[in-house]
Amino acid sequence: MTVSGSPPSAEGRVGFVLKGYPRLSETFIAQEIRALEQRGLDIQIVSLRHPTDRARHPVHGQIHAPVLYLPEYLKDEPPRVFKAWRRARLLPGYAAARRVWLADLVRDATPNRIRRFGQALVLAAELPQDLRHLHAHFLHTPASVARYAAIMRGLSWSVSAHAKDIWTMPAWEKREKLGSAQWAVTCTEAGRRHLAELMPSPGTVALSYHGLDLDRFAPPRPRDAGGDGSDPARPITVLSVGRAVEKKGYDDLVNALALLPADLAWRFVHIGGGVLAQRLRRRAERLGLAPRIEWRGARPQPEVLAAYREADLFVLAAKIGRDSDRDGLPNVLMEAQSQRLACVATQLPGIAELVADGRTGVLVPPGNPRALASALEALIRDPAQRSRLGVAAEARVRREFDMTSGIAILAALFDVPEQQPAPARTPLAAAD
């Protein structure tokens, strides 16, 4: 898709404003940063939060960009915030940024809105002088900080929108941020259409599937056809990877597992953290499922890859949460399919852009445990169909969802010449 507007000059760094770095649940952002560095983009990572995950993916160790951590809570570093305010208020764009923030605060009078302006003050005051552009991952809080800081510093800014940020924000805020951004990208056509309707120039919203780094997800060894769930000594392994939050639908999945016939031999493995994890475990115990379920928690990418290769079937029961949050294009589905793993998922717009029902996977209505159980049972009993779906899914992912095309779109937007050598690293220096 052609994107209107002139890209920023290729000289100087681009600041990537993230919610937190590094995060195990945001592999797609890390692989994007690494790929853009390889294309020659000089990146400064800006993180609104310190890391909470104990483990890291291997890709995090391959990223060279320095990281600037902003105060997660303003009360934690008052001298730093005050010093930043004294410096930022002398910037030519400070008054304009303050007006924008106050207008936002009137409509969203929350501590979170105050915190984001304080973080923007620190960002504007401490960014290196050679930084030419800010790019926010997610349209909600990271974009707020990037927008306020960009106005203060007189910089252009852009945004990658994904899922929760698209569907849970008020329309006024999306419209004003998109009107201020130089360009925006998003990872599903459903999201692109929605944002394009809100943006003053619809051509400035581009579709860029984040795709997979297929070098990290090499083709698996030939799969054993597997059993059919009739042998208790050889249960079918059903895998799911994702955070235990409402939109992932793990409550529906646990209920669906409880509906499977008693004589069907299966085991379920879950990888991922999340606020609902303990509640799900208790629910599984009440339903008598605990002996069949293994809760592994959040794991680094090599262990996740091994789990894909050991499983017989993958499932993701995503749905629209009560707050309108939903998945965009789940990386875990692409990862599973890249390993020739048959997938059962739900009929959400973003997922349907990846999974062709009956051809590269099976889709069921979201929030319907009975339909989910029926699909799981059918595939557990039919190893030949699992194999056919897995082969077709892998072929499509490798053909249409290689991250290379998405990185090329982003590199063009950042005005990075093809095959530009990676820049020499320079130390982080705060603005004078």
- Global pTM value: 0.81
Q: In the CATH scheme, what is the code of domain 236-400? A: 3.40.50.2000
pLDDT tens for each residue of 370-406: 999 999 999 999 999 999 999 999 999 999 999 999 9
Which residues, other chains included, contact 262 with Cβ-Cβ below 8 Å and sequence gap of 6+? none
pLDDT tens for each residue of 119-128: 999 999 999 9
Q: Is 13 in contact with 45 (CB distance < 8 Å)?
A: no
Amino acid 424: pLDDT: 45
The highest-level CATH class for domain 13-211+402-413 is: alpha beta
Amino acid 26: pLDDT: 82
Residue whose entry in the numeric block shows the structure tokens 């557990």: 380
Domain limits, the chain: 13-211+402-413, 236-400
Which residues, other chains included, contact 138 with Cβ-Cβ below 8 Å and sequence gap of 6+? 18, 19, 159, 160, 161, 162, 164, 165
Amino acid 199: pLDDT: 83
The rounded average pLDDT for each run of 10 residues, N- to C-terminus, in the chain (432 residues) is 40 92 85 93 96 82 94 96 97 97 96 97 95 96 98 97 90 94 92 89 81 87 88 96 96 98 97 94 97 95 94 97 88 95 96 96 98 98 97 95 92 81 40 28
Rounded to whole angstroms, the Cα distance separating 214 from 196 reads: 30
Which tokens sit at 65?
A: 């960009």
